[in-house]
């Protein structure tokens, strides 16, 4: 009997050992299976995908910080009279307009919340447009502080000279490349922004409005420029009485008849059709003086 009991125990032990090992093996197996079936696909989905490559320069480094810094500088120092603007909200609305979105399918609606947070009245007779004459126009408003280019308003001031874009497959900005207007797509986040804010800037203008044009290039008025495509067509004839053009030649460049050139005639004609009066002056004195400050020795600057 004793020998029978002994032999039955010794027969069971190897059997129990095997089943414990088997259980451990099964646990490890199912554990691994869960990792493979769940964790790997989740990991793949969550893994940051490389941004698409575009032909244009990528988002400006420290874009958000620059935007915020400029917003506070403008509202606290440059134009404190503008009153309270919520820079945190403005910054969020700016980035929400393009982050996690296809940078080639940007729309005016994307920028609508940003536009609402940054509305700003420019006094009548004080709007200054420019085309291919950015430096000169801004030199002028720097000294004529009561005149405004778009970059002298909050939103233009914040965005001036920056580049930005996002990607539909990522919540980050693309710092490597952004779509170019010519080579990639026209509805890119950057161009749509300038079209949208330029449109509002023109719609809001009133009284006599001004434009600085570059008389040293073949077409001082370019119908494909933002000024020629967007701003001229969004002036409101019921409140804009006249457009005054100042066609400026670089110091030392030949020719002084730009106001009678064919491209300026096109501008005149478009405005006539829109019932807005037009006047034009070559080398407007006060702006000429600014050019001369930079070129005091030039013969044309000897008054």
Residue selected from 96, 125, 134, 170 as contacting ligand N1C according to rule CB under 6 A: 134
Tell me which residue has tokens 């434009």: 211
Instruction: State both tokens at 222.
Output: 């370019």
Interface stretch with ligand N1C, choices 31-39, 126-134, 243-251, 257-265 (CB under 6 A): 126-134
CB 244 within 8 A of CB 277: no
Specify whether the CB–CB gap between 241 and 278 falls below 8 A: no
Least Å distance, CB 281 to ligand N1C, is 18
Catalytic residue, chosen from 104, 124, 185, 292, is 124
Catalytic option among 165, 206, 259, 280: 206
Site for ligand N1C in 147-206 (CB under 6 A): 150-151, 156, 160, 194, 198, 201
**130 touches ligand N1C (CB under 6 A):** yes
- Provide the CA 204 distance to its chain's centre, in angstroms: 20
Residues 10-29 that bind ligand N1C (CB under 6 A): none
Which residues is 209 bridged to in the sheet? Answer: 243
CB neighbour list of residue 180: distance below 8 Å, 6 or more residues apart: 54, 55, 56, 188
d(CA 170, CA 233): 37
Closest separation between CB of residue 40 and ligand N1C, Å? 44
Contact with ligand N1C (CB under 6 A) among 59, 106, 131, 141? 131
Q: Which of 63, 140, 148, 227 binds ligand N1C (CB under 6 A)?
A: 227
Instruction: Check if 206 is active-site.
Output: yes
Active site residue 124: yes
Tell me, what DSSP letter sits at residue 167? B
For ligand N1C, give the closer residue by CB, 188 or 282: 188
Instruction: Yes or no: say if 180 and 203 are a contact pair by the CB < 8 Å rule.
Output: no
Q: Should residue 291 be labelled a site residue for ligand N1C when binding is judged by CB under 6 A?
A: no
Residue 170 vs 274, nearer CB to ligand N1C? 274
- Does the protein bind ligand N1C through residue 220 (CB under 6 A)? no
108 is an interface residue for ligand N1C by CB under 6 A:
no
Q: Is 287 exposed, middle or buried (0-12, 13-18, 19+ CB in 10 A)?
A: buried
| Total number of residues shown for the chain | 303
Q: Residue 180: how many CB atoms within 10 A of its CB?
A: 16
Whichever of 140 and 201 has its CB closer to ligand N1C, that residue is 201
**Do residues 234 and 203 make contact, with C-beta atoms less than 8 angstroms apart?**
yes
Please name every residue paired with 148 in a beta bridge, in sequence order, or none if there are none.
127
Considering only 73-81, 87-95, 131-139, 261-269, which stretch makes contact with ligand N1C by CB under 6 A?
131-139
Mark the segment that binds ligand N1C (CB under 6 A) among 13-21, 69-77, 78-86, 224-232. 224-232
The H-or-E segment that residue 259 falls in is none
Chain residues binding ligand N1C by CB under 6 A are 129-132, 134, 150-151, 156, 160, 194, 198, 201, 225-227, 231
Give the catalytic positions in this structure.
Answer: 124, 206
């Amino acid at each position: 009997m004793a020998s029978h009991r002994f032999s039955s125990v010794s027969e069971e032990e190897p059997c129990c050992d095997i089943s414990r090992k088997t259980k451990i093996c099964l646990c490890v197996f199912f554990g691994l299976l869960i990792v493979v079936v769940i964790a790997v696909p989740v990991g793949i989905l969550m893994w940051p995908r490389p941004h698409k490559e575009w032909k244009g320069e990528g988002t400006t480094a420290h874009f958000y910080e620059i935007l915020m810094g400029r917003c506070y500088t403008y509202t606290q120092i440059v134009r404190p009279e503008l009153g309270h603007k919520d820079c945190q909200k403005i910054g969020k609305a700016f980035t929400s307009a393009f982050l996690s979105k296809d940078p080639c399918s940007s729309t005016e609606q994307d920028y609508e919340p940003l536009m609402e947070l940054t509305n700003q009245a420019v006094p009548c007779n004080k709007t200054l447009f420019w085309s291919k004459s950015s430096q000169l126009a801004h030199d002028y408003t720097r000294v004529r502080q009561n005149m405004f280019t778009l970059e002298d308003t909050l939103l233009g001031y914040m965005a001036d000279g920056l580049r930005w874009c996002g990607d539909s497959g990522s919540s980050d900005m693309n710092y490597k490349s952004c779509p170019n207007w010519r080579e990639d797509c026209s509805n890119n986040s950057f161009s749509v922004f300038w079209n949208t804010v330029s449109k509002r800037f023109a719609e809001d203008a009133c009284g006599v409005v001004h434009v600085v044009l570059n008389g040293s290039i073949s077409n001082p008025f370019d119908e494909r420029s933002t000024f020629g495509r967007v701003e001229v067509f969004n002036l409101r004839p019921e409140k804009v009485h006249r457009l005054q053009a100042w066609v400026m030649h670089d110091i030392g460049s030949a020719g002084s008849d730009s106001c009678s050139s064919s491209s300026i005639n096109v501008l005149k004609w478009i405005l006539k059709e829109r019932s807005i009066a037009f006047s034009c002056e070559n080398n407007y004195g006060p702006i000429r003086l600014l050019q001369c400050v930079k070129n005091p020795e030039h013969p044309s600057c000897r008054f």
